Chains A and B, each alone.
Chain A
Amino acid sequence: DADVTQTPRNRITKTGKRIMLECSQTKGHDRMYWYRQDPGLGLRLIYYSFDVKDINKGEISDGYSVSRQAQAKFSLSLESAIPNQTALYFCATRSVSNTGELFFGEGSRLTVL
């Protein structure tokens, strides 16, 4: 089983719908991240969390919200999806003791029609 698991892996939805992407990890890491990948733009940070009670906005948090339900779970929500949120979304984790080394899930491809 993967250390960082994302569900769903693929989702097609309509404009205005609420969508939740879930991430769970078995690595025991405190820090978790949500990134968005778009062709030609690389990865951009949406939200990150140092622990259950510490959540921080990244560079493109507008239109998104997150919930850190437990150390191992970090969910990303789109309250009212719009077409320009069509992208590949990645969850990642990191150990406090390991500078810069993120462990990524396999991605969730979201299409908003």
Chain B
Amino acid sequence: AQSVTQLDSQVPVFEEAPVELRCNYSSSVSVYLFWYVQYPNQGLQLLLKYLSGSTLVKSINGFEAEFNKSQTSFHLRKPSVHISDTAEYFCAVILYNTDKLIFGTGTRLQVFP
């Protein structure tokens, strides 16, 4: 069965520092990969996704993630975080040709001034 592991439940960081949120998945078949973000008191929204093609995908607000098939990882990075990036981030996978999106347990990113 497929699963998603986010090892870090919380990541505290100072403003303008770089950050990496880790995500590993397990699946014996091809997957699509996603990062969702949940700001306080809101629903989740899609941050970025990997379906095919270039293994490096980017969001409009400076985040990027790289699909690494050999390490079964899809880590999220940002070179310089802002206070407004404080949120919970969820990694998710969906098996090719299925419809069920499976979420990780989430990583709470807290950016301090």
Residue in B9, B42, B101 whose beta carbon sits within 8 Å of that of A100 in the complex: B101
Asked if residues B92 and A100 are in contact (CB atoms below 8 Å), the reply is yes
Question: What is the chain B residue whose CB lies nearest that of A50?
Answer: B99
Asked if residues A4 and B99 are in contact (CB atoms below 8 Å), the reply is no
Identify which of B14-22, B57-65, B79-87, B103-111 touches chain A.
Answer: B103-111
Asked if residues B106 and A102 are in contact (CB atoms below 8 Å), the reply is no
Chain A: minimal CB distance from B32 (Å): 5
Residues on the B chain within 8 Å of A4, using CB:
43
Residue in A41, A102, A106 whose beta carbon sits within 8 Å of that of B101 in the complex: A102
Q: How far, in whole Å, are A45 and B101 apart by their CA atoms in the complex? A: 8
Q: How far, in whole Å, are A107 and B42 apart by their CA atoms in the complex? A: 7
Of residues 29 through 60 on chain A, the ones whose CB sits less than 8 Å from some CB of chain B are 31, 33, 35, 40-45, 48, 50, 58
Give chain B's interface residue range (CB within 8 Å of chain A): 20 to 34
Residue in A31, A42, A101, A106 whose beta carbon sits within 8 Å of that of B43 in the complex: A106
Residues on the B chain within 8 Å of A50, using CB:
99
Asked if residues B44 and A90 are in contact (CB atoms below 8 Å), the reply is yes
Asked if residues B103 and A42 are in contact (CB atoms below 8 Å), the reply is yes
Question: Beyond A102-B46, A104-B45, is A58–B99 a contact (Cβ under 8 Å)?
Answer: no
9 extra interface residue pairs, beta carbon distance < 8 Å, beyond A40-B105, A41-B105, A90-B43: A4-B43, A45-B100, A48-B99, A99-B32, A100-B94, A101-B34, A104-B45, A105-B43, A106-B41
Q: How far, in whole Å, are A50 and B44 apart by their CA atoms in the complex? A: 20
Asked if residues B105 and A42 are in contact (CB atoms below 8 Å), the reply is yes
Asked if residues A58 and B90 are in contact (CB atoms below 8 Å), the reply is no
Asked if residues A101 and B49 are in contact (CB atoms below 8 Å), the reply is yes
Question: What is the chain A residue whose CB lies nearest that of B51?
Answer: A99
